[in-house]
A and B are shown apart, each in its own frame.
Chain A
Amino acid sequence: MQAAQTYADVNRDVLRPLFKPTPLWAGALALDLVVLAFGAYCWAYQLEWGLGVAGYTPPVFWGVYITTFVFWVGIGHAGTLISAILFLFRARWRTGIYRASEAMTIFAVITAALFPIIHVGRAWYVFFLFPYPNQRELWPNFKSPLVWDVFAINTYLITSTVFFIIGLIPDIAAVRDGSSGIIRKVYNLLCLGWRGTDNQWRHYMAAYGFFAALCTPLVLSVHSVVSWDFAMAQTAGWHSTLFPPYFVAGAIFSGCAMVITLLVPLSKIFEWEEYINVWHFEHLAKLCLLTGSVLTYSYGIEHFIAWYSDNPYEWGIFVDRATGNYSWVFATMVFCNCIAPLIWWSKKMRTNLYVLFAVSLLINVGMWFERYNIIASSLAHQFDPGSWVYYQPTWVEMGILAGSFAWFGMWFLLFVKLMPAVAIAEIKEAMRPPLKHDHVEAA
């Protein structure tokens, strides 16, 4: 595929869609901004009237916001997995898709970071989460998993963003060199005057390797820490040592599905089939099959352990999830995450773009419902039957949920028009270098 291309072809193909808004792109952005405006209105409404406008029903005080927070953090896993872990493993199939996946990660974590702020209600007090010198001598409780989470999410966001930007620098320089006027000046500033000298590449490659090594444990640790937000509590259905691997597998599963959801249309619309094609999507589908199997096993084993523990509270919550008020949530989760992806065991199905896109959408839906199932059903069915309730989200929460997708979509749409969404320098690395010796032989 790439052997027939020259380095110049790569620049031409990747830079072609930049700065040229098509009607499709402009329409998508306009629709996105309308949904985002509605989400912003919902948040403003909540800020004015307080958390009472959310559907919280005592003792359920974690609902759609925490569900959506965990969902977006999970989505943010695939990009760094693809860019860092697969880089260290020298997986060649990552080259075409890693830039867009990494962008997806950054935007997903930025989206996730909004939800603790939204969830606390009085957003102007959110800085209480951070350790800062203050006259009241109040400090965060470092033995609380919620404070661990603040550190984990912020470290992940900062480190992944730096890794992403470092990867972009040589390609921004390529945009600069292919443009003129004000765009050239702006991109020269953005790439910090990168020239691709031997000295720069030498330190760049060393730093890139270190970043990949640093990001690798972060991929595994972030969702482990998120899972401890639940597992460290005594709540039935949450208090389990299974949670870290279960959450990490789920995060990679949902993240890879989101990469498929985003890149199937992107590759088609931008005519990038030479760089992002079925070969990449099939690998992602296989990764989903692996992590989906781990997830299905986790669903099964947590039910088994609840039954085997002979603890009536623990078993009660798992029976209630499957047969109680939230049985429709449970059924959606099982269908989307355990049954629907099975179709990808057939090579014919996992190489069909329509099937890939449709199943990836189902996985996205299923993984949001998985978090909703864990959070809402456990809190609504705690130890005292007198406190059992049925929590239902309000229009405000659903509006903010929709707004979060629009917020994520807005960043992604702007990114693909302003930055090279395929890594130019790395695509060139994967190609055979131009050698005079070859030309002599051919002649």
Chain B
Amino acid sequence: MSDNVKGVFAHLDSLLTGIARVRKAGYNDFTVTSPLPRHEIEEAIYDGMPSPVRWWTMTGGLIGGTGGFTLASLCSAVWPMALPGGKPVVSVPAFFVVTFECTVLLAGLFTLLGLLFHCRLPSLNLDIEVQDPRFSLDRFGLIVHGAGAKRAEIAKLLHDAGADEVANAEASHG
């Protein structure tokens, strides 16, 4: 039998109430699923803490920018044929485009890597409770992990918050 308790919510405000009550009761190991991103959910769980993906973006941009400029400079230095019109070997205006494009390219690719890393994707084997097709349709889920002996207490808490359905719980809360 699973050690999780799953609450299925039809309404966003009920879900937010559920999150607040679960946290207040001291349970911090839980997962919320929703068919769309809602800032209210993020605020309720992460208290405004920004995603670390931004550091990946900045790192990629810096590597791309310096890499692009270096690539253009070294290519010009090792192949002096590429000196039309007596321009300098390292020409900032001429290399600006490649520097800019490499900055954006690497920033984008690093953002993608950061997203996959922090979202733990690809991830084809999540907890069975999270794999509910209703969560990409019109229902919100609040799954409390490691409920153990307190399953009944958590189930009641979710039910009282307004969950339409509480799974893996006492029949009276279903």
Contacts and interface: CB of A to CB of B under 8 A. Distances in A.
18 contacts: A8-B138, A138-B79, A141-B84, A152-B97, A154-B105, A155-B101, A155-B104, A158-B109, A174-B136, A177-B137, A192-B124, A197-B126, A199-B119, A203-B53, A206-B51, A210-B57, A433-B11, A436-B13
A50 interface: no
Interface residues of A, number: 66
A125 B153 CA distance: 70
A6 B107 CA distance: 37
A128 interface: no
B108 A159 contact: yes
Contacts of A162: 108-109, 112
Given A201-B42, A206-B50, A141 B124 contact: no
B123 interface: yes
Given A142-B95, A143-B94, A436-B11, A207 B112 contact: yes
B28 to A, nearest CB: 12
Interface of B: 10-14, 31-38, 41-42, 45-46, 50-51, 53-54, 57, 68, 71-72, 75-76, 78-79, 81-82, 84, 87, 91, 94-95, 97-98, 100-102, 104-105, 107-109, 111-112, 114-116, 118-126, 130-131, 133-138, 162
Contact of B10 (A147, A188, A428, A434): A434
A207 B115 contact: yes
Contacts of B91: 143
Interface of A: 6-8, 11, 131, 137-143, 147-148, 151-152, 154-155, 158-159, 162-163, 166, 170, 173-174, 176-178, 188-189, 192-207, 210-211, 214, 217-218, 221, 225, 228, 424-426, 428-429, 433-437, 439
B13 A193 contact: no
Contacts of B130: 195, 197
B31 A174 contact: no
Nearest to B114: A207
A440 to B, nearest CB: 10
B18 to A, nearest CB: 11
B101 A201 contact: no
Residue in A154, A178, A214 with the greatest tally of chain B CB atoms within 10 Å: A214
By Cβ-Cβ distance, the 10 closest A-B pairs, closest first, are A177-B133, A206-B51, A7-B138, A142-B72, A192-B122, A139-B75, A436-B11, A193-B124, A198-B32, A141-B82
